[in-house]
Amino acid sequence: HSFEEALDWDFSGKLSLYSTNETEKALTYTPRGFLESLGNNQYEFDFNKRGTGIRTKEPHSYVPKDGLDAFGRITKETCHGKYYSTAYDDMGQTKSQNQRQFEWDPWGRLLKVTDSFSVWEVSYDALGRRLQTRQTQRLNSPMTKTFFYDPEEEFQEIGVQTDHEVFWKFYGPDACDAVQSSNGETVYLSRNAFGELTAVIGLEKTVYNQNTLQPYGPQTTASSNNMLSYAYSLNWHSKSPDATGLIWMGARYYDPQGGRFLSPDPAGYPICLDLYHYANGDPVNNYDPDGRLSIE
C-alpha cells in the first residue's frame, strides 16, 4: 500500500490544492484568510458578513441567526443533527452545554465535566500541566489516566499511564512518530501533510485511518485502552481526545465538534477578536499548539 501526496499553494502562501493517489481536493479562502472550502466541504464565518471571525457553519454543524449572545459567543448550534445550548460563566468559560456541566478553578483550568452518565475529573501540577484524569461511570469501575511530560517543553506529553499499561510517545521534528508500550512493543505512525494520522504500522499488521481531511479535529471519540487503539487515537496533531471528546491543548481545552475552545483566549482583545476560535479560522495553514497562540 503506497501513499503519495502533492501540494500546491496560492500567491498568498496558503495551500490551494491537495492530492494523493486516491483523491484530489481544492481549497479556497475568504478575503480575510479563513478556510472557505476543502473539496466539497464548505465553511462559513459570521453568517457570510463582516464580523469577528466566528465559524457559523461547517459540513456537520451550523449556528442559527439567533445563536449568538451579546458578546458574540455561540449559545445555540446544531451538530450532527443534534441541538446544543451553551451557557457561559462571568469569566467567559463554558459552564454548561445541554445536560453537561463544566467546573473551573480560579486559574481558568477545567476541573470537572459532569453529565447524566459519568463524572470526569482532572488534576494539575504547579506548572499548569494536567497530571491525572479520572472518569467515573454509573455501571463501570473508575478509569484513571496519568500523564508524563518532557521537562524541557512546557506541555510536551511524552507518556500516559492507564489502569493497566504505560504508553510512551516518541517525537520527530513535528509530531509523534512512534508509540511504545511498557513491554517494549512499538508501533509507528504515518501522517499526511495536515498532521493527520494515515496509518499505524506494527510488526504484524498495519491499520489505516480513513477519517482524514478533518482540519478541525476528530468528530468521534474512540477507546484508547490498548497500545494500538491509543496510537490510533493520536490522529490529529498527535493529540488523543479525552473520554469527554475534548482535547487538552495545554493552556486550554478544545472542542473539535464545535471547532472552538471552551474558554477565552488569554491574549484577549484586540489581538484576538473571536476569543474562542481555533487557528485564526484557518486550521489548514495554521496550528494552535497549546491554546495560546496560532502559528503557521
DSSP letter assigned to residue 43: -
> Does a structural domain hold residue 206?
yes
> Does a structural domain hold residue 84?
yes
The pLDDT value recorded for residue 270 is 57
pTM of the model: 0.94
> Does a structural domain hold residue 289?
no
> Does a structural domain hold residue 160?
yes
* Domain range for 202: 5-281
Mean pLDDT by 10 residues, the chain (296 residues): 88 95 93 95 96 94 96 96 97 97 96 95 95 91 94 93 92 94 94 90 87 86 79 93 94 95 81 82 92 82
User: Any idea what the Cα angle at residue 175 is, between residues 205 and 110, rounded to 5°?
Assistant: 110
Looking at the structure of the chain, the number of domains it has is: 1
The pLDDT value recorded for residue 88 is 98
The pLDDT value recorded for residue 181 is 94
The pLDDT value recorded for residue 273 is 67
Label residue 159 exposed, middle or buried (CB < 10 Å: 0-12, 13-18, 19+).
middle
The pLDDT value recorded for residue 272 is 66
Residue 242 Cα to chain centre, angstroms: 10
Query: Could you tell me how many residues make up the chain?
Result: 296
> Does a structural domain hold residue 184?
yes
The pLDDT value recorded for residue 59 is 94
> Does a structural domain hold residue 45?
yes
- Cα separation, 118 vs 100, in Å, equals 10
> Does a structural domain hold residue 295?
no
The pLDDT value recorded for residue 220 is 76
Take residue 83 and report the three cell numbers written for it.
441541538
- Cα separation, 9 vs 3, in Å, equals 20
- Cα separation, 229 vs 207, in Å, equals 10
The pLDDT value recorded for residue 269 is 63
